[in-house]
Chains A and B, each alone.
Chain A
């Protein structure tokens, strides 16, 4: 998967992801979020409109990154999930844990 990091505000970043979030890419995804958080941006938005596939390895990575962000005083939000990602979020009930926004800007703006 490809991840482009946009430094949206002083403490928030939008990660524009594309490809697949599975057991192959999950370690890279976790490392990227950890770097963003330790770099001073604990408010993380994961933009998933171009992620064609996510599975339980990807869900686990999102949960791990949610914890990383919260431990640093921030949070992790999801933006624009694709149909496949939305299916997996709903089946796993993670749509109740990970707050979802229509796009990255909306998620960042809502932090104020």
Chain B
């Protein structure tokens, strides 16, 4: 694992790294961005930990998976890019929906959709690329209603 907080970059090798490193990384990003609202932080932490969890759970090959997370905090929006060298993702993440109430998995991408304004997935040069954008100052609820 290596971090460069000034540029808000985190590199992970899983295993041994896991989402604990993402939580710690985001805490350090928030320290350098004190004007970002609590609601924005909660939304982005949920989105980025969900996406990284998906990569670790579904993308890892025999030797694990390596991923890079970049977070850019702008005046109007926060953009994040998560790339990994795992297997391609066979589903359309933008069509994710909540499963049955008593399902024990399958909620991750649907939750991400609700707390960000834009979620895109691309496969480029044998890498998965997850691109997230959330406008600053929006409520979680308003993001959710826009995606309905």
Contacts and interface: CB of A to CB of B under 8 A. Distances in A.
Query: Chain A's interface: helix, strand, loop or mixed, by majority?
Result: helix
Interface of A: 20, 22-24, 53, 55-57, 59-61, 63-64, 66-67, 83-84, 87-88, 91-94, 96-97
Interface of B: 18-20, 23, 38, 42, 45-46, 49-50, 53, 56-57, 98, 101-108, 110-111, 114-115, 140, 144
B23 A55 contact: no
B18 A87 contact: no
A103 B114 CA distance: 28
Contacts of B115: 91
Contact of B111 (A23, A64, A83, A88): A88
A93 B144 CA distance: 12
A84 B111 contact: no
Given A23-B19, A24-B18, A91 B144 contact: yes
A56 B102 contact: no
A66 B103 CA distance: 11
